[in-house]
Amino acid sequence: QKEKIVSILNRIDGRGYKAYLDLKGTYDFDFFSLTIQHVQRDPFASPSRLVVEVYENSFPAELHQNSARKIALEDYISRAFRKSIGKFTDNQRGSGKSGIIHIDAGNQEILQRSSVNISPDKLEIRFLLGLPARGRRIMGREAQRILMKILPEIVSGSCFYENLPSDELIHHVQSFEDAEYMRSQLKEHELVAFIVDGAVLPRESGVSDRPLSNALPFKSPLSLQVAMETGQDCSVIGMGIPEGVSLIVGGGYHGKSTLLRAVELGVYNHIPGDGREQVVTRADAVKIRAEDGRSVEKVDVSSFIHNPPGIGDTSSFSTENASGSTSQAANIIESLEAGSKLLLFDEDTSATNFMIRDERMQRLVKKDKEPITPFIDRVDELYMDHGVSSVLVMGGSGDYFQKADTVIMMDNYQPHNVTMEARRVSEEVPDKRETESKGKFGYTQRYPHPGSIKPYKGKRLKLDSRGVFNLIIGSQTVDLSQVEQLVESGQTRAISYALYQFHKTCVQSCNGNSGKNDSKNSALAGVLDYLEKQINDEGLDFLTPPGRERPHNLTKPRRYEIAAAMNRLRTFKVDK
Ligand code: ADP
Ligand code: MG
């Protein structure tokens, strides 16, 4: 049947690009089938979508028998496929995207993606190919060379166990599974994060996520040392960051933000050689930062902000243009609402007047003139009464010493436990600032209107991502540049699809067109539970909107980032 491709290509050779549409269909090759799923309109458009199904799954069952191993194996195969593509460098003859072969395979994180799907009896690969053209004329021979010669070589080189370096493959899977296992032990150790000795935390540059060469490896201080079991009957030593309130202090340029960044991304597992393979953080960690200019929809920020001039009631606070402090307050409440119990802060990206208000300022500007209850007056209450831990990078103020359960000092990139010293300092230099919290911490749930998510532009469904940090939905572009734990554009795209799915639940379940939601379990957290469960049960394909069947470019997002996108939609509406 593959000969059919040859005859079609011979027939359409030299004709206008549209004739490539004749290629749509499924063809049997010797050891796989090829489906040409979608043909691009012209050589400059986004490349055509292809699916290869390898008839046989040659990978030992033990490498994909549980969901963790399956994710890691699929990730490995996608990387092998990409590497295999890279061996054919002279493909790109012709105009536009002619000859480009692309698979979504990720960077430093091992994640579940839609590009590779392994099942007990077959292996499916979804990828892109720019069908070649000279100008807008079909290059039939070149297309033949790519489809009939190069593609089988790529598939054979990356989709069969016996053709892959098994040591490397097994290590990839084991390393992922170890990290999962370590993360699962954090709770019983009463830790929020673990950083293994020898880890390499700094990155090559602000634009490269690869490890910095010649970095000083991480070394835990004795008093914070923990032994953590990996899955392979052995244990590793490293630093545990305990639950509660933890401060990271130290001079400028000593590695505080680098440590926090590693903790932020410790919610994901990293590829071997990354340096952060055994840096693990509880899965519910959310980075909190100031984000002035964002929109906020009826968030109850009253635990942090009361009666600001011209606003009044802050238990249902909305704005099109939040300030640094109100955006940070909203970010906290929204993260808790989505289910997080671990908040991460860096002074570099926090609003100072939200984090602290010192004794002198309290004397000069009286409490009744300051609408903000600074975070310092809620941080311990959040832990004691609500079980919410905080890790804060704070080099510029000692006010938090009194509140901290653990103080870690970074000195020349190495951590030291200075909890005792910090306690002594706060006794020697007593803090006379007054606690400013009024009433107990709390907030009210919100019930999102699925109808306020507008996925259509005119009549056309429009859902996509532009890079990692711009989400396209309907006629809106949602700015996610301050949502710092997003790592792949596939996640952003999957989030836009998830928002569409939520929108659809309304069309199905809301009677009438009010877009109102009256069932109790459709509080925002309930919506996230639903989406998360569907993705876990049915895979990423569940998210796919009509017309995008068998997507090649989705990466599993976390519920916190789905919520973050929803909360930043400028059309978003909720009931309280
Ligand atoms: P801080 O937040 O304390 O001001 P940063 O974390 O921003 O400091 O680190 C300052 C610089 O030091 C960065 O360029 C970072 O890449 C580098 N750095 C951090 N940790 C290490 C390390 N372990 N080895 C080498 N360089 C490091
Ligand atoms: Mg810093």
How confident is the model over 239-276, as pLDDT tens digits?
A: 999 999 999 999 999 999 999 999 999 999 999 999 99
Distance (angstroms) between ligand 1 centre and the Cα of 152 equals 45
User: Average pLDDT of 213-217?
Assistant: 97
User: Are 258 and 369 found together in one domain?
Assistant: yes
Q: How confident is the model at residue 522 (pLDDT cuts 50, 70, 90)?
A: confident
Span 521-530, average pLDDT: 88
Write down the pLDDT at residue 2: 86
pLDDT at 316 over 50: yes
Give yes or no: residues 435 and 451 share one domain: no
**Which region among 2-11, 177-186, 235-244, 306-315 has the lowest average model confidence (pLDDT)?**
306-315
Q: Does 62 fall in a domain?
A: yes
ipTM confidence? 0.99
C-alpha distances (whole Å) from 361 to each of 130, 373, 434, 502 are: 62, 13, 11, 46
Tell how far the Cα of 413 is from the centroid of ligand 2, in angstroms. Answer: 12
Q: How far is the CA of 313 from the centre of ligand 1 (A)?
A: 42
What is the separation, in whole angstroms, between the first and last Cα of the chain?
60
Q: Are residues 191 and 290 in the same domain?
A: yes
Task: Provide, rounded to the nearest whole percent, the portion of the chain with pLDDT above 90.
Answer: 89
User: What's the rounded Cα separation, in Å, for the pair 287 and 323?
Assistant: 18
Distance CA 483, CA 561 (A): 7
Q: In angstroms, what is the span from residue 304 Cα to ligand 2's centroid? A: 25
Kind plus residue range of the DSSP H or E element containing 17? none
Distances (CA, A) of 36 to 56, 167, 228: 20, 34, 48
Say if CB 380 and CB 235 are below 8 A apart. Answer: no
pLDDT reading at 517 higher than 50 = no
CATH of the domain at 257: 3.40.50
Among the bound ligands, name the one nearest to the CA of residue 346: 2
**What is the Cα–Cα distance from 518 to 528, expressed in whole angstroms?**
16
Please state the rounded mean pLDDT for residues 93-100. Answer: 90
- Is 544 inside any structural domain? yes
253 CB-side CA count, 13 A: 0
Residues 230, 171: Cα–Cα separation, whole Å: 13
Distance CA 38, CA 31 (A): 22
The closest ligand to the CA of 258 turns out to be 1
* Domain match, 424 and 346 both: yes
Q: Report residue 507's pLDDT band, with 50, 70 and 90 as the boundaries.
A: low
Same domain, 472 and 503: yes
Cα–Cα distance measured from residue 315 to residue 270, given in angstroms and rounded to the nearest whole number: 40
169, part of any domain:
no
Query: For ligand 1, atom 10, which residue shows the shortest CA distance?
Result: 253
* Nearest ligand 1 atom to alpha carbon 218: 23
Interacting residues of 273 by C-beta distance below 8 A, sequence separation 6+: 211
Residue 182: the pLDDT is 97
Nearest CA to ligand 1 atom 23: 216
Q: Give the mean pLDDT of the chain.
A: 94
Closest ligand 1 atom to Cα of 250: 3
Which of 207, 346, 413 for a ligand 1 pocket mutation test, highest count of atoms within 8 Å of Cβ? Answer: 413
- 173 inside domain: no
Mean pLDDT, rounded, for 9-15: 96
In which domain, by residue range, is 455 found?
447-575
Q: Same domain, yes or no, for 96 and 194?
A: no
Q: How far is the CA of 381 from the centre of ligand 2 (A)?
A: 26
pLDDT exceeds 70 at position 144: yes
- Ligand number nearest CA of 202 is 1
SS percent in the chain: helix, strand, coil, step 5: 35, 25, 40
Rg (CA), the chain: 26
Neighbours of 165 (CB within 10 A): 10
pLDDT given at position 566:
97
- From the CB of residue 452, how many other CB atoms can be counted at a distance below 10 Å? 17
Same domain for 439 and 557, yes or no, is no
Give the lowest-confidence range in 148-162, 299-313, 377-391.
299-313
Residue nearest to atom 26 of ligand 1 (CA): 215
* Each residue's pLDDT tens digit, 401-441: 999 999 999 999 999 999 999 999 999 998 888 888 889 99
Are 452 and 439 within one domain?
A: no
pLDDT tens digits along 24-58: 999 999 999 999 999 999 999 999 999 999 999 99
Per-position DSSP letters for 97-112, written without gaps between them: TTT-EE----SSEE--
Please state the atom number of ligand 1 nearest to the C-alpha of residue 203. Answer: 16
Taking 50 as the threshold, does the pLDDT of residue 512 lie above it? no
Residue 508 lies in a domain: yes
**Tell me, what's the pLDDT at 17?**
97
From 110, 138, 164, give the residue that closes a domain: 164
Q: What are phi and psi of 573, to 5 degrees?
A: -135, 145
Q: Which atom of ligand 1 is nearest to the CA of 260?
A: 6
Residues 277 and 352 in one domain: yes
Q: 428, 443, 458 — which closes off a domain?
A: 443
Interatomic CA distance for residues 440 and 523, integer angstroms: 22
DSSP state of 232: S
Answer whether residue 95 is part of any domain: yes
Alpha carbon of 477 to ligand 2 centroid (Å): 30
Q: Answer whether residue 171 is part of any domain.
A: no
Going from the Cα of 517 to the center of ligand 2, the distance in angstroms, rounded, reads 43
Nearest-CA residue for ligand 1 atom 1 is 253
Asked if residue 317 and residue 190 are part of one domain, the reply reads yes
> Other CB atoms closer than 10 Å to residue 556's CB: what's the count?
19
Contact 94, 129 (CB under 8 A): no
Whether residue 400 sits in one domain with residue 288 = yes
| 121 in Cβ contact with 57 (< 8 Å) | yes
**Structurally, how many domains does the chain consist of?**
3
- C-beta separation of 333 from 300 below 8 A: yes
pTM of the predicted model as reported, rounded to 2 decimal places: 0.95
Query: Which residues approach ligand 1 with their CB closer than 6 A?
Result: 201-202, 212, 215-216, 250, 252-258, 410, 413
In a domain, 424, yes or no: yes
* Three state DSSP letters for 124-169: EEEEEECCCEECCEECHHHHHHHHHHHHHHHHHHHCCHHHCCHHHH
pLDDT at res. 430: 86
* Residue 40: alpha-carbon gap to chain centroid: 29
The CA dihedral of 306, 312, 318, 321, to the nearest 10 degrees, is -80
Average the pLDDT over each of 116-125, 174-183, 222-231, 302-311 and give the range with the smallest value. 302-311
Predicted local distance difference test score (pLDDT) of residue 514: 44
**Residue 464 CB neighbours (<10 A):** 16
Residue 457 CB neighbour total at 10 angstroms: 14
Q: How far is the CA of 254 from the centre of ligand 1 (A)?
A: 6
Of 443, 474, 489, which residue sits at a domain end? 443
Same domain as 89, residue 194? no
